[in-house]
Amino acid sequence: MIKCLIFDCDGTLVDSELICNLGLEIQLREYNIETSANDMMKKYRGGKLAEILKSIEEEHNIVLKDNFVKNYRELIELLFEKKLTACEGVNEMLQNIDLPICVASSGPTKKINKALSITGLKKYFNENIYSSYEINSWKPDPEIFLHAAKEMGFYPNECLVIEDSMKGIQAGLAANMKTVLYDPMYVHENIEGVYKINGMNELKDIISTHNNG
């Protein structure tokens, strides 16, 4: 039985993945690195920022300045205010979900709250927001999902994870949770043991099948 839904944020609730990588693209121009936000999104989707930056340093043989992350976060806030929207169908889906819900994201709490506030989604989650930065554990490790389940008061096998990245899917499976891959662009193959949806309106059928089947 599904009793609680655990949502990733970036790329699942809010259409932010490209924006975040656009911020990296802009910041890296200072280092004479010309790269594509689309390419970086494919390469780094769902990853921990510190690991992404380490990979960039190694690939381009550079050392990023101490203020790189601070400047990047500030730039992302500005880009969010100008460009960020909720993923298609998310508002309607959340309006019709009659189960406890929360967010479990690899992003910092401030960024999650900002994204949800700008897109009008914060009202659905209130304070049920959990960040990898709070527990110092990032996907594909399952700890952020296990932490969210515990805080929400549910066992892992009572939770359904909704994710858009492979790291998130791996974390959901490792947490022994029912797991959904949100794939609106049809870029992923089917994964054994994982539900796949292309639109958020399909989520209600998965819940109904489990809880009423």
Show which residues are catalytic: 8
92: CB partners within 8 A, 6+ apart: 200, 201
What is the rounded CA–CA span in Å between residue 12 and residue 33? 29
What is the token pair recorded at 181? 């891959």
Contact (CB, 8 A) for 46 and 143: no
